A and B are shown apart, each in its own frame.
Chain A
Amino acid sequence: MTQLALVIDLNVCVGCHACVTSCKQWNTSGQAGPLFDDNPYGQDPTGTFFNRVQTFEVGEFPCTETIHFPKSCLHCEDAPCVPVCPTGASYKRAEDGIVLVDYDKCIGCKYCSWACPYGAREFDENQKVMKKCTLCVDRIYDTTIPPERRKPACVLACPTSARLFGDVHDPESEVSIAIREGGGYPLMPEWGTKPANHYLPRRKTKLRIHEDELVRADNPLRKEDIRHETGKDVTLDDWLM
């Protein structure tokens, strides 16, 4: 079984929002109709987005670290938003694990968004239906696009390659290896939703140098170390030298 997902490397994300804008651009231009913005140039602009980049601060000044944190639907393997939908408009595809909303069936009751602990669903106030990340399902299978470009728009847009895309059920896929070897983790695992998307943690590159790597313990010339201490007393050595 396939489970497509994103792996987002928090160690690499610089918080530039390129994924946010590219997501909006792609998904507002597709066959599913626009992702509306209300008042885009007015005082209180608001709109529907599939993907947001947030910023968190860890620690206390001056020992702080800034974490840029992109968040979109995690395409949970045990998606709690799906069974609650009274119409079946919310569904999880068996073939690739993508969680989608059928905009023609959705009655806009918002119940699914209550059942998503991640706040990944946004209600479109103009179309009056629930919207969420589709993993660019209208792009990744499009055979008119060159194969290497058949990825979600956000993945292609990321200037630092912080976003990986692939099948997390294939143990040899790029994303599975990244999760396995890079310490990938899911968000809020305590809810048991089994998010398919994973995050790679911040990492510090540190080199540990041991004392005996600076001063070789087994140095054959050690006896001639000119830095040896010379005593004040006159010894037999002084006479022999």
Chain B
Amino acid sequence: MNPAFSVIVLTTLIGVGQGLFLALFSSQAFTIVKVLPTQPNGYYALGGAIALCFLGGGLVASFFHLGHPERAWRAATRWRTSWLSREVIALPAVMGLVFLYAIVNGFGLEADLYGWNIPGQVALTVGTLGVAATLTLFLCTGMIYGAIKFLQEWATPLTVVNYFLLGSASGFTFAAAYASFMAPNVVKFYAGWAITLTILAFFTRAAALFRNARIKRVATVQTAIGVRHAKVQQRSMGFMGGSYNTREYFHGRTVLFLKSVKWIFLVLVFLVPVALLWTGLPEGRPALLVAAFLAQYVGLLFERWFFFAQASHPQNLYYQFVG
């Protein structure tokens, strides 16, 4: 496929936003049960607002992918059959809940909802709903790609797992950087999880790379035109100037370029952030943690580009030779 920049930005930004929200809420949940030191409410409110900015940035980017953004509301109508439609519902739902979460924390709204006699029950409730929505959004985003069986590189549960782990890892890395300014006493929590998630994501992403390098193609040029012969070659695709079919499904880069992008993302998404987080972890040095996030985010742009470019669409069997 030909990677669309809008979709790369969309998926990476909402990944950070979702991961950041998960990081904030998990640390808050731990403070409520007194495992982590308590933070001022403003810390969660500002963090939630930042997560909202990431999610909103993704939403804006998604509009650049549409031919008719003014009709985008229609995309919420087919949630029964379309994962894309489900994502279109889940993204605003996550944004709404993160917004509520920031509000609840920002204004310190409290109520003894469950009769536990401890503060933070409202935030806990809104946050739990937010976590459910966030996980649903990860599922939807992954399934948009995982559900197309023709794109064999994507049609695996690993796609969903990777969207979840990579998004969460980048969100926790951001949270570590954010906390190094605002709440140094929880940096270790975030950085530790960021390292864990990044390493987990490394294994699942590597598993996907391993799998994709060994894919057995379902369709062949023989089945594409229905002729049984060992040697079938296209002689003309029927036009010379290119078409949607030659633009949308081919990345137009060399194998070497593709390979180098793979190594760049492997280094930037996994190696560099883990090294920086590891060195930054003991003293919580902001510069290192910010650098870890930036490296990981830029790496994720490469990773997403590669994710799209690597997928080989069966329609390409019909577009091999200009003539």
22 contacts between A and B (CB under 8 A): A47-B241, A48-B244, A49-B239, A55-B238, A57-B233, A58-B232, A80-B149, A83-B82, A84-B83, A85-B82, A86-B74, A86-B84, A105-B71, A109-B66, A109-B67, A109-B75, A114-B150, A119-B313, A122-B245, A123-B67, A123-B244, A128-B67
User: Which residues of B line the A interface, CB within 8 A?
Assistant: 1, 65-69, 71-72, 74-78, 81-85, 88, 144, 147-151, 218-219, 221, 223-227, 229, 231-239, 241-245, 248-249, 313-316, 318-319, 323
Q: Tell me whether A86 and B82 are in contact (CB under 8 A).
A: yes
On chain A, the residues within 8 Å of B67 by CB distance are: 106-110, 123, 127-129
Q: Smallest CB–CB gap between B104 and chain A, Å?
A: 31
Alpha-carbon separation in the docked complex, A110 to B78 (Å): 15
Alpha-carbon separation in the docked complex, A4 to B86 (Å): 32
Q: Smallest CB–CB gap between A34 and chain B, Å?
A: 16
On chain B, the residues within 8 Å of A166 by CB distance are: none
Q: Tell me whether B245 and A54 are in contact (CB under 8 A).
A: no
- Supposing A56-B235, A113-B248, A117-B219 touch, asked if A67 and B227 sit within 8 A by C-beta, the answer is yes
On chain A, the residues within 8 Å of B318 by CB distance are: 54, 71, 118-119
Q: Tell me whether B65 and A60 are in contact (CB under 8 A).
A: no
On chain A, the residues within 8 Å of B226 by CB distance are: 185-187, 199, 201
How many residues of chain A have a CB within 8 Å of chain B? Answer: 62
Q: Smallest CB–CB gap between B136 and chain A, Å?
A: 16
On chain A, the residues within 8 Å of B319 by CB distance are: 119
Q: Tell me whether B148 and A84 are in contact (CB under 8 A).
A: yes
On chain B, the residues within 8 Å of A109 by CB distance are: 65-67, 75, 84
Contact with B along A44-78 (1 / 0, CB 8 A): 11111100111111111000001101010000000
| Chain B CB within 8 A of A189 CB | yes
CB-contact partner of A191 in B68, B85, B149, B234, under 8 A: B149
Alpha-carbon separation in the docked complex, A105 to B319 (Å): 29
- Supposing A83-B82, A86-B77, A119-B315 touch, asked if A52 and B239 sit within 8 A by C-beta, the answer is yes
- Supposing A54-B237, A55-B234 touch, asked if A87 and B71 sit within 8 A by C-beta, the answer is yes
Of the candidates A48, A60, A87, the one having the most CB atoms from chain B within 10 angstroms of its own CB is: A87
Alpha-carbon separation in the docked complex, A69 to B232 (Å): 13
Q: In the complex, given contacts A46-B243, A86-B88, A123-B244, what are 12 additional A-B residue pairs having Cβ atoms less than 8 angstroms apart?
A: A49-B239, A52-B238, A54-B236, A57-B234, A71-B318, A84-B82, A84-B147, A87-B78, A105-B74, A108-B66, A121-B244, A188-B224
Within residues 7 to 64 of chain A, which ones have a CB less than 8 A from any CB in chain B?
17, 20, 39, 44-49, 52-60
| Chain B CB within 8 A of A137 CB | no
- Supposing A55-B234, A107-B67, A111-B84 touch, asked if A85 and B78 sit within 8 A by C-beta, the answer is yes
On chain B, the residues within 8 Å of A71 by CB distance are: 238, 318
| Chain B CB within 8 A of A156 CB | no
